[in-house]
Amino acid sequence: MSQILEIKVPDIGGNENVDVIDVMVKVGDTVKVDDALITLETEKATMDVPADAAGRVTEVRVKTGDKVSEGSVIVLVEAAGDAAVSAPPTVAAVAEQAPAAPAGKLEVTVTVPDIGGHQNVDVIEVMVKVGDTVKVDDALITLETDKATMDVPSTAAGVIGRVLVKVGDKVSAGSPIIEVAATANTAAAAAAPAPVAAAPVQAASHGASPKTAYGNTPVNESIFNRGHAGPAVRKLARELGVDLTRIKGTGRRDRVVASDVKAFVKNLMQNPAAGSVPSLGGGLDLLPWPKVDFSKFGDIETIPLSRIKKISGQNLARNWVMIPHVTQHDDADMTELEAFRQTLNQEWAKAGIKFSPLAFIIKACVKALQTYPDFNASLDGENLVVKKYIHIGFAADTPNGLVVPVIRDADKKGLRDIAIELTELSQKAREGKLKPQEMQGASFTISSLGGIGGTYFTPIINAPEVAILGVCKAQTRPVWNGKKFTPRLMCPLSLSYDHRVIDGAAACRFTTLLTQLLADFRRVTV
């Protein structure tokens, strides 16, 4: 028996009337949970909206150019049999079922745990709504005491049937937060927390910090010692590369709210309004952007920036302002490599496979990233997230602007596979046919100007990555070999790196290894 489900636009950060710039499905398509359905564009970013149900698309309710908000219906999906049951239900479907729990499930009430004896604590953020599916330890609400903020995690997994608190409420230990339709096994494994008397502070072992009991899940007391910003605001600041300590909050007790972060970034990226000049701290203020009537000096033409240039321009400006860039330059002797490349091109010409210098550079970068994993990482607050995968992005020049396709799992692909994928992605980039997911997830980026010329330059890091390699056109130069000058094909390399993560010595080791690999490509296999 089939069931028709509505898939709607989820919470998109409070944005309203957001542009639909791409529709990736049509009637008759079969979608899985998390498959991208549409792409939205706000003033600051683009985002894919994934499916939260699996099945066959029976109707598409939006088209490119439409404007949508949270709750707008995107598609109708026919989910048959078990698929309809396993797919996450829509908000409307859950609302119709509440308060009765579905068959085979238990209704569990999640309450506020022991919060250090505090009473009547303010609820400053509610992070869930009816119909959401939560897992154990997912944050539900944020509380604020006189000294700190804290997240309250869920102690049960399931679908939320009722949310029992709202922003501005005051709660204490034992106050109900949500009701969850949880399966019997889940409910038994993660029971709702008892009142504070039944959830005492556990005795601390020697040398260990005391821990507060959140139901069956011990939580370190450091959860109470966070700065003056809620988790959603901290997440937004991380995504935008903003240091929260540089922002004066406008919330209660100078708390930084989302609008403060957005205003800070907007002031940095755009022309500041009269009398509103952003400060970079230390007494350094940005002057207003100069306004000039260029028509006074001659004929002009005003051409709107393309969508790609507007988005990439904002990202590049943010990255240049927020990341302390340092660039390490080096030269790679690619004489033998070029001879090998030409031989491969002759051998594979009938198969239509062309090996560009960039394919070899990508393969060499994979080896260098495996040797120095800090270059294949991202900075997240005070933590370095080192990735176990290697996805290489490469900057592609198109008529509409710069795009960065991504070769995923480059460490698991041979040179021939990389060469084929490079050709295919480059062609799609020039034709404007790249899908959003083909430009996401890069852990390291290469910007190659080898087909144009140049010597050295300073590429801007593609946040949240910590390094980017710039490549210019290889040129034949006289090189001293100890006895005489010989002609060698030398390729200029420019490695920009985030000095907060990588120091100069590490960057020099990275480029030195890279030049060794390109000089003798056999080293890549060692």
Convert 404-415 into a string of H (helix), E (strand) and C (coil): CCEECCHHHCCH
How far apart are alpha carbons 326 and 508 in whole angstroms? 11
> Strand, helix or coil at 11?
coil
pTM: 0.51
How far apart are alpha carbons 333 and 264 in whole angstroms? 45
What pLDDT was estimated at residue 227?
41
Q: Please name every residue paired with 7 in a beta bridge, in sequence order, or none if there are none.
A: 75
What pLDDT was estimated at residue 190?
44
Burial 419-432 (b: 16+ CB within 10 A, else e): bbbbbebbebbeee
Residues annotated as catalytic (active site), given as ranges: 499
How far apart are alpha carbons 89 and 53 in whole angstroms? 8
Cis peptide upstream of residue 357 (ω within 30 degrees of 0):
no
Rounded to the nearest angstrom, the gap between the alpha carbon of residue 5 and the centroid of all alpha carbons in its chain is 29
Q: Where are the alpha helices (DSSP H) in 162-217?
A: 184-189
304: tokens are 């709107």
What pLDDT was estimated at residue 80?
59
Cis peptide upstream of residue 464 (ω within 30 degrees of 0):
yes
- The rounded average pLDDT for each run of 10 residues, N- to C-terminus, in the chain (526 residues) is 84 81 87 85 72 89 90 87 42 37 65 84 87 85 74 87 90 91 54 36 32 32 42 69 74 72 70 41 57 92 84 84 93 96 95 95 97 95 93 88 91 96 93 87 93 89 95 94 94 96 96 97 90
- Backbone phi, psi, residue 368, to 5°: -65, -40
Which residues make Cβ contacts (< 8 Å) with residue 91, sequence separation at least 6? Answer: 8, 71, 129, 130, 131
Burial 261-274 (b: 16+ CB within 10 A, else e): bbebbebbbeebee
Residues 429 and 405: beta-carbon distance below 8 Å: yes
What pLDDT was estimated at residue 348?
95
